[in-house]
A and B are shown apart, each in its own frame.
Chain A
């Protein structure tokens, strides 16, 4: 299972990186979201998969999966959401102001 997940995570990172290296601002945002998903899965995979029941006390399970990665991921999800929202508005605003979302044209001044 872990090996399968590792391969999937690798695919997600590859696709995310390739998207980030593209010219369109929207694709860059999409790419960062894809990498974020990959990261969340990576953290939970590194903590070990399916080693016990959900980490809620008082249930029937006598062993629990590691709760620490889950807590970390929860933080990461929320932060990622904030980041994505900010990036989207930034993209929207720069498009409204500059009239393009092509990174080649958003290069800034030629000679500083």
Chain B
């Protein structure tokens, strides 16, 4: 599998040519050209299922920045393979679905498929990367492609709002995760997850262990829309439905789950990990299902249901980590099934939720609305869609004969086992887990029933629907039909799935246990009159009762005051941040050039003086000085005098002449310092400059009364003095700090090398010839600038005169 990294790169490479296909071949839907990519990836990964399940994982390394220990390492074990199959498998179906969902005449398909491939590549990168920095890179790429896809219909305000919200929240988590990764890399001294797992035993005692764990979990929770960061997911539903099915239910939001599963071998077994992961998961499970019931939009309902199901999986991963506390042995066997249930439910959720999203897309496409208040009685109109909706929702509700029943039972078993834990203070709080899980499942059952029966049964109001297209969208029904058949297939044959996919994945979450055997029983639909079965029966009974009486108790949803809603908090936070930063920016970006120059000078002084102070590089050694003659003293005094005259002059003529004097004095200094060429050049240039000044003198205004005197400004004075002092200090230190031998001896060969006796000239036109050429270029540009300004000015003047 040496070309392993190619499976990550192929989508990226193909994305480059998609726009050209879209432009060149407009008659055929671009989706058909994109479809082969996920198909090829899926087939490629399927071929390796048995190899991964039976042999060791695959690994392949391409050095990227070896000096920093960053390698592009692709690593495929059971966990990564399951995700890879979901990404490419659902990707195939979603691409197929999108061909019928998005019109090739009206939509910008090139954008859509470029973003989709970008996401596919990034997501594969997340699950197949072993290096945490590479993982982070792909992680952020998924956030960015999700942002682009949510804002696909960017003309809509809601899309832009949802996209921004998703980006802000997930990138915030991403940054936290990066910080956590760097801490972890610091603790373990490696960037490779596999090497971290090998060192995992020794790091729990490290003082930064908890910080890094919380930061990494922040990344996972924001990405997987866990409470209280779940608020971005319902707004992300503004994306086209294929995207909601793909990114926001099947794959991207599961990246957080992947991360938690991947890091369980490192962090698992500690009390903090157990409580944070399972607690947040449990709260999200409840809150998501509770909020889903009140939704009026079908997609929003599915979004909250996704939130709640993700919480369920994360809760299971947290509970399963208790096994790590005991280590391989008798006690752990009770908790490993939780991990199995998590992975199993992850697969099941991708099938039934993908199916349901596509069903909503069909309803939306055919009737023009997703609003529950308008829908009703569609059963007769779309019988196939109805069947698919029943399969998907009943599986989600946890009913047989669908795969959701199996994983729901495993989930109940997991929480019941966890309630008997006698570690991590579970003795006192343990019963909360089954209780909350059970209540949440009742709500799950209720919204599943609402989803099916409010849409498809009841009275049919054609006048409430925007448009009714009774044609059969077979292309849009095929992908959900595939998923629905998987839902049933997994119910009847869970164990081949478990053997080839689930158990290898469990083994990579719990590597220590895999060596001694996981001790898992085969998954069975019927396992006697167990407590979990009674729980399910209770869910169904109470669920049906509450569903029928829904109007009587739906009043509780209005109780939460608006100020405590998370969306309100998010919006105010955003508004306050924008306002205060706007004020800060306006505070120092005054629009006065002088202020900006002031900042530049002050920064220059502070930084350089600071460096000088920290490095203690100031050195003063008067012994190195050469002698001073009387001429030089006179020149120096004249120089200072001329400079002061410029400063205090009240007319521009005096100032210009003083500047000219100064220039000539500099030329004199050059003479004293044995630099004849410089002296000559300086004389010529100074003459021309003075002439130029005097020429402009005629046009430039006299120093106006209010600024005739330069005035005194204490702050400017301090900064200007600081600049002077700093330069003096630098000049003195430069004399006493010689790091390298001068290279100037080389130029003494100028006669032999360049045929010139004047060394300075030889340097300019020969040794540094290119430099001089570019200098001439600068001169030309300045000349063009001067010429253009004068010309422009004349035409402007003419235009004014003509008026």
Within 8 A of B (CB), among A33-54: 33-34, 37-38, 40-42, 44-46, 48-54
Kindly list chain B residues whose C-beta atoms are within 8 Å of the C-beta of A89: 696, 785-786, 789-790
Would you give the 0/1 interface string for B656-689, flagging 1 where the beta carbon is closer than 8 Å to chain A? 1001001100100110111111100110010011
Measured CB to CB, the nearest residue on chain B to A42 is B731
Q: Which of A34, A44, A88, A108 contacts B673 (CB 8 A)?
A: A44
Kindly list chain B residues whose C-beta atoms are within 8 Å of the C-beta of A4: 628, 632-633, 636
Contact B673 A50 (CB under 8 A): yes
Interface centre among B622, B625, B700 (most CB of A within 10 A): B700
Kindly list chain B residues whose C-beta atoms are within 8 Å of the C-beta of A49: 626, 673
Contact B757 A26 (CB under 8 A): no
Measured CB to CB, the nearest residue on chain A to B695 is A88
Kindly list chain B residues whose C-beta atoms are within 8 Å of the C-beta of A2: 624-626, 731-732, 735
Contact B639 A8 (CB under 8 A): yes
Kindly list chain B residues whose C-beta atoms are within 8 Å of the C-beta of A57: 748, 750-751, 757-759
Report the Cα distance A42→B725, complex, angstroms: 13
Contact B647 A19 (CB under 8 A): yes
Contact A46 B735 (CB under 8 A): yes
Interface centre among A33, A52, A53 (most CB of B within 10 A): A33
Within 8 A of A (CB), among B765-783: 768, 771-772, 775, 778-779, 782-783
Kindly list chain A residues whose C-beta atoms are within 8 Å of the C-beta of B628: 1, 4
Kindly list chain B residues whose C-beta atoms are within 8 Å of the C-beta of A10: 724-725, 727-728, 731
Least Cβ–Cβ distance between A107 and chain B, in angstroms: 5
Report the Cα distance A68→B760, complex, angstroms: 7
Kindly list chain B residues whose C-beta atoms are within 8 Å of the C-beta of A50: 626-627, 672-674
Report the Cα distance A102→B723, complex, angstroms: 24
Kindly list chain B residues whose C-beta atoms are within 8 Å of the C-beta of A11: 640, 643, 724
Kindly list chain B residues whose C-beta atoms are within 8 Å of the C-beta of A37: 662-663, 666
Q: Which of A13, A91, A103 contacts B723 (CB 8 A)?
A: A13
Asked if B556 CB lies within 8 Å of chain A CBs, one says no
Contact A56 B757 (CB under 8 A): yes
Asked if B721 CB lies within 8 Å of chain A CBs, one says yes
Kindly list chain A residues whose C-beta atoms are within 8 Å of the C-beta of B789: 89-90, 92-93
Within 8 A of B (CB), among A58-112: 58, 64-68, 70-71, 73-75, 77-86, 88-93, 95-97, 100-104, 106-108, 110
Measured CB to CB, the nearest residue on chain A to B775 is A75
Least Cβ–Cβ distance between B41 and chain A, in angstroms: 49
Least Cβ–Cβ distance between A42 and chain B, in angstroms: 6
Report the Cα distance A45→B727, complex, angstroms: 12
Would you give the 0/1 interface string for B625-661, flagging 1 where the beta carbon is closer than 8 Å to chain A? 1111000110010011001101100001001100100
Asked if B614 CB lies within 8 Å of chain A CBs, one says no
Interface size on B (CB < 8 Å)?
101
Given contact pairs A78-B685, A82-B783, A88-B693, A21 touches B720 in the complex (Cβ within 8 A):
yes
Asked if B699 CB lies within 8 Å of chain A CBs, one says yes
Kindly list chain A residues whose C-beta atoms are within 8 Å of the C-beta of B763: 67-68, 71
Given contact pairs A88-B696, A103-B592, A6 touches B681 in the complex (Cβ within 8 A):
no
Report the Cα distance A27→B593, complex, angstroms: 14
Interface centre among B662, B673, B789 (most CB of A within 10 A): B673
Report the Cα distance A53→B671, complex, angstroms: 11
Q: Which of A15, A40, A71, A102 contacts B707 (CB 8 A)?
A: A102
Given contact pairs A56-B758, A75-B771, A1 touches B625 in the complex (Cβ within 8 A):
yes
Asked if B713 CB lies within 8 Å of chain A CBs, one says yes
Kindly list chain A residues whose C-beta atoms are within 8 Å of the C-beta of B772: 75
Asked if B562 CB lies within 8 Å of chain A CBs, one says no
Contact B699 A104 (CB under 8 A): no
Contact B720 A18 (CB under 8 A): yes
Given contact pairs A3-B732, A10-B731, A18-B720, A55 touches B700 in the complex (Cβ within 8 A):
no
Q: Classify the secondary structure of A's interface with B.
A: helix
Q: Which of A6, A17, A40, A90 contacts B666 (CB 8 A)?
A: A40
Contact B719 A21 (CB under 8 A): yes
Contact A85 B759 (CB under 8 A): no
Given contact pairs A8-B636, A75-B764, A17 touches B751 in the complex (Cβ within 8 A):
no
Contact B643 A33 (CB under 8 A): no
Asked if B744 CB lies within 8 Å of chain A CBs, one says yes
Kindly list chain B residues whose C-beta atoms are within 8 Å of the C-beta of A1: 625-628, 632
Contact A26 B700 (CB under 8 A): yes
Asked if B201 CB lies within 8 Å of chain A CBs, one says no
Report the Cα distance A89→B210, complex, angstroms: 64
Contact A78 B775 (CB under 8 A): yes
Contact A77 B728 (CB under 8 A): no
Would you give the 0/1 interface string for B695-736, flagging 1 where the beta carbon is closer than 8 Å to chain A? 010011101101100110100110111011101101110110
Given contact pairs A9-B731, A40-B666, A56-B758, A17 touches B723 in the complex (Cβ within 8 A):
yes
Asked if B594 CB lies within 8 Å of chain A CBs, one says yes
Asked if B26 CB lies within 8 Å of chain A CBs, one says no
Kindly list chain A residues whose C-beta atoms are within 8 Å of the C-beta of B592: 103-104, 107
Measured CB to CB, the nearest residue on chain B to A90 is B789
Contact B731 A45 (CB under 8 A): yes
Report the Cα distance A40→B717, complex, angstroms: 23
Would you give the 0/1 interface string for B503-517, flagging 1 where the beta carbon is closer than 8 Å to chain A? 000000000000000
Given contact pairs A89-B696, A89-B789, A66 touches B744 in the complex (Cβ within 8 A):
yes
Kindly list chain A residues whose C-beta atoms are within 8 Å of the C-beta of B779: 78-79, 82
A-B contact pairs, 10 of them (CB 8 A): A4-B633, A10-B727, A22-B716, A41-B669, A44-B675, A55-B758, A64-B759, A68-B763, A70-B760, A104-B592
Given contacts A11-B640, A15-B724, A89-B786, 15 further A-B contacts (CB under 8 A): A12-B724, A15-B720, A21-B601, A27-B655, A27-B710, A44-B673, A45-B731, A48-B735, A50-B672, A56-B759, A71-B768, A77-B682, A101-B700, A101-B704, A102-B707
* A-B complex: 9 closest residue pairs judged by Cβ atoms: A14-B724, A10-B728, A82-B782, A6-B731, A18-B720, A71-B763, A17-B720, A10-B724, A55-B759
